[in-house]
């Protein structure tokens, strides 16, 4: 294995400042492009459950729709620009994304579809579902008492 020796941290600071200066000198071109909103998600499991968490700030609970069909969990909704309809305001800069969104998650494990639980608090949607109890198909001897 080859090791590469780097210089001091000052070398990184110099590179960082050069990059910052380069981009700081570029003109600020403001394109009016609104990318689609896509909530960030975490998907994890333990021995008994599957968990999915989505960050959906600015969306109300009743604006969300959650469905499960053919092993696909679908979460959809719309993030609305609530300032858009205010009168006498001028938007100087807007960095947030708005619009319809949909996230789908393939669930490959056998689950109990009646055990879905969804909670929405502080802009985070938390969904959990219990895994189905696996049938043991191996042969087991049963003793007679």
Q: Is 143 domain-assigned? A: no
Mean pLDDT (whole number) for 10-20: 62
Please state, in angstroms and rounded to a whole number, the distance separating the CA atoms of residues 106 and 127.
Answer: 14
Q: Which residue has the higher pLDDT, 11 or 93?
A: 93
Is 80 domain-assigned? yes
pLDDT, tens digit, 9 for 90 and up, residues 46-99? 999 999 999 999 899 989 999 999 999 999 999 888 777 777 877 777 778 888
Number of independent structural domains in the chain: 1
Residue 3 domain-assigned (yes or no): no
Question: Which domain does 111 fall in, by range?
Answer: 34-85+96-133
Does pLDDT of 1 surpass 70?
no
10: left (phi over 0), alpha (psi -120 to 50) or beta: alpha
Domain membership flag for residue 52: yes
Using 50, 70 and 90 to split pLDDT, how confident is the model at 126?
very high
More confident call, 8 vs 43: 43
Closest to 76 in 3D by CA, of 85, 89, 84, 66: 66
Tell me if 115 is assigned to some domain.
Answer: yes
Split at pLDDT 50, 70, 90, the class of 20 is low
What is the per-residue DSSP string for 52-121? EEEE-TT--GGGEEEEEETTEEEEEEEE--TTTT-TT---S------EEEEEEEE--S-B-GGG-EEEEE
Residue 145 within a domain: no
Quote the pLDDT of residue 93.
Answer: 79
The reported pTM is 0.65
CATH number of the domain enclosing 67: 2.60.40.790
Evaluate whether residue 55 is within a structural domain. Answer: yes
In a domain, 4, yes or no: no
């Amino acid at each position: 294995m080859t090791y590469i020796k780097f210089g001091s941290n000052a070398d990184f600071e110099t590179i960082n400042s050069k990059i910052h200066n380069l981009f700081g000198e570029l003109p600020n071109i403001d394109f009016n492009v609104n990318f689609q909103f896509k909530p960030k998600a975490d998907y994890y499991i333990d021995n008994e459950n599957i968990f999915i968490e989505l960050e959906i700030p600015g969306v109300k609970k009743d604006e969300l729709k959650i469905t499960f069909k053919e092993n696909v969990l679908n979460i959809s909704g719309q993030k609305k620009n609530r300032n858009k309809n205010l009168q006498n305001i001028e938007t100087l800069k807007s960095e947030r994304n708005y619009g319809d969104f949909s996230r789908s998650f393939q669930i490959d494990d056998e689950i109990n579809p009646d055990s879905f639980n969804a909670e929405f608090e502080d802009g985070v949607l938390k969904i959990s579902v219990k895994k189905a109890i696996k049938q043991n198909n191996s042969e087991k001897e049963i003793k007679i008492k």
